Structure 1
Amino acid sequence: MKLGVFMVLFGGRSLEEALDYVASQGLDAVEIGTGGNPGDKHCKPDELLANETALKNFKKAVESRGLTISALSCHGNPLHPQKHLAQADHETFHKTVQLAEKLEVPVVNTFSGCPGDHEDAKYPNWPVAPWPNDFQEVLKWQWENKIIPYWSEAGKFAADHHVKIGLELHGGFSVHTPATLLRLREAVGEVIGANLDPSHMWWQGIDPVQAVQILGRAGAIHHFHAKDTTIDPINVNKYGLTDMQEYTNMLDRAWQFRTVGYGHDVKTWADIISALRLVGYDYVVSIEHEDGLMSVEEGFTKAVHNLRQVLIEEPLSEMWWV
């Protein structure tokens, strides 16, 4: 496995400055935002697709520092019921796939999106309960009329460009659990896989090791994020895991994101890494730091230190003791 970082963390630095810093920390890979929620500070698809020289210089900037690009990321909501918002994210996704092909990047990360509850809806509707029965009707309509049709076309587009889609399992979007990812994968094909982030498993009450096992046995992990979560044992009893308080209200929230090792111990992360190796994932572990208690540099360097202790980097060898 290789250690990488989601470069949105260094949006305050130029591409070259950020790459220099990442390389100085001994990392192997970078994940770069191309628009949508991650923004396009370090990578503007329109400019790179229109200018072959700029494209070559961009690729050289990464490779000359001994780094590779693990994924291009354009997390958005291409299923948003407001058509202009959906169209913008859809176009960003298409351009990102085209750019990934040119850069020989194998994965584009994004969200599945979440539609409304009917054609004239204004806002997304995320059903999370089977009763009242209205929610079941909404869910059925969404999957049959929006989610599967959209991703069937998007999946074909990505496959035609030799790119895999890593959907981040994130609350608030239609694909947010191993089961919903596998449901879409069954309908669309193997081009669909997970950008699996343990932090979003923990706050949904899902054991990330088991999520790795479930998805990994199906060959459905295309990329992996390293981010932690802590659940407050008192606040969770007041607000529940679907706590709607702002992330900035850290003292009262039921859960919050932490850097690797500050929500769960290193042994837990060793179990996650071992599960990844067990199911055959031997690609990049990409650090995403959204810890409100730590600076950019401190949260990042602590994640690097903690992951270095458990990352399995050497190729598998024969079982010499058998």
Structure 2
Amino acid sequence: MKLGVFTVLFQQKPFEEMLDHVASKGLQAVEIGTGGYPGTAHCNPDELLGDPAKLKAFKQAVDSRGLVISALSCHGNPLHPQKAVAKDYHDTFLKTVELAQKLEVPVVNTFSGCPGDHEDAKYPNWPVAPWPNDYQEILKWQWEEKVIPYWTEMGKFASDHQVKIGLELHGGFSVHTPATLLRLRDAAGEAIGANLDPSHMWWQGIDPVQAVQVLGRAGAIHHFHAKDTSIDPINVNKYGLTDMQTYDHMLDRAWQFRSVGFGHDLKVWADIMSALRLVGYDYVVSIEHEDGLMSIDEGFSKAVANLQQVLIKEPLGEAWWI
């Protein structure tokens, strides 16, 4: 496995300065935003697709520092019920897949999106309860009319460009658990897989080690994010895991994102790394830092130091003890 970082964290740094900073920390990979929620601070698909010289220089800047691009990321909601909003995210996704092929990047990360509750809705509707039965009707309509048709088409588009799709399992979107990812993968094809982020498993009450097992046995982990979550044992009893307070209400929230090792100890992270190795994942572990208690540099540096202790880097080789 290789250690990398989602470079939206350093969007204030120019592209090559960011690459130098990442390389200086001993990392081997970068995950780069191409639009949508991550923005285009380090990569503008329109510019690179329209100018072969800029495309070549972009790739050379990464290669010359001994880095690889683990994924291009354009997280958004291409199923948004407002057509103009959805189109922006959809168009960005298409361009990102095309760019990934040209850069020989194997994975494009995004969200599954979430539709509304009918064709003329204005806002997404995320049903999470089986009753009253209205929610079941909404869920059925969303998946049959929007989620499966869209991602079946996009899965084929990605496959035609030799690219895999890493859907981040994230609350608020149709694909948010291992089960919903596998449901979509079964319907839309094996180009669909997970960009698995343990932080979103913990706050949904899912053990990430088991999530790795479930998805890994199906060959459905395309990319991996390294981010932690802490759950406040008092506040969770007041607000529940679906706490709707904004992330800056840290003292009162039921849970919050943390840098690796500050929500769960390194034994837990070692178990996650071991589970990834067990199911055959031998790709990049990409740090995502959204810890409201730490600066960008401190949170990033601590995540690097902690993951370096538990990351399994070398090929397994023969079982010498047999």
Q: TM-score, normalised by structure 2?
A: 1.00
Letter aligned with residue 136 of structure 1: Q
SS at match of 1:32: strand
Which ranges in structure 1 are unaligned for 5 or more consecutive residues? none
Distance 1:182 1:161 in 2: 22
Alignment match, 2:152: 152
Q: Residue 203 of structure 1 aligns with which residue?
A: 203
Range moving further from structure 2, 312-321 or 196-205: 312-321
SS of the residue 2:158 aligns to: helix
Aligned match of 2:36: 36
2:117 maps to what in 1?
117
2:307 matched to 1:307?
yes
Deviation at 1:316, TM superposition (A): 1.1
Q: Aligned letter for 2:17?
A: E
Structure 2 residue 242 is the aligned partner of structure 1 residue 242: yes
**Aligned counterparts, 1:1-322, within 5 A:** 1-322=1-322
CA RMSD of aligned residues (A): 0.3
1:101 alignment partner AA:
Q
Aligned equivalents of 1:159 and 1:115: distance in 2? 24
The alpha-carbon deviation at position 45 of structure 1 amounts to 0.1
- Write the letter of the residue equivalent to 2:256: Q
Aligned-pair CA distance for 1:317: 1.0
Alignment gaps of 5+ in structure 2: none
Report the CA distance between 1:127 and its aligned residue.
0.2
Q: SS state of the match for residue 127, structure 1?
A: coil
Cα deviation, 1:172-205, whole Å, max 9, x if unaligned, reads 0000000000000000111000000000000000
In 1: Cα distance, 2:16 partner to 2:320 partner: 44
Structure 1 runs of 4+ with >4 Å offset = none
What is the DSSP-based 3-state SS (H/G/I as helix, E as strand, rest coil) of the residue aligned with 1:119?
A: coil
- Deviation of 1:117 after TM superposition, in Å, equals 0.4
User: How far apart in 1 are the matches of 2:216 and 2:38?
Assistant: 26
Q: What residue identity is the alignment partner of 1:182?
A: L
State how far apart, in whole Å, the 1-side matches of 2:55 and 2:282 are. Answer: 28
**C-alpha distance after superposition, 1:126-166 (max 9, x if no partner):** 00000000000000000000000000111110000000000
Q: Matched residues, percent identical?
A: 81
SS at match of 1:229: strand
Residue 108 of structure 1: how far off its partner (Å)? 0.1
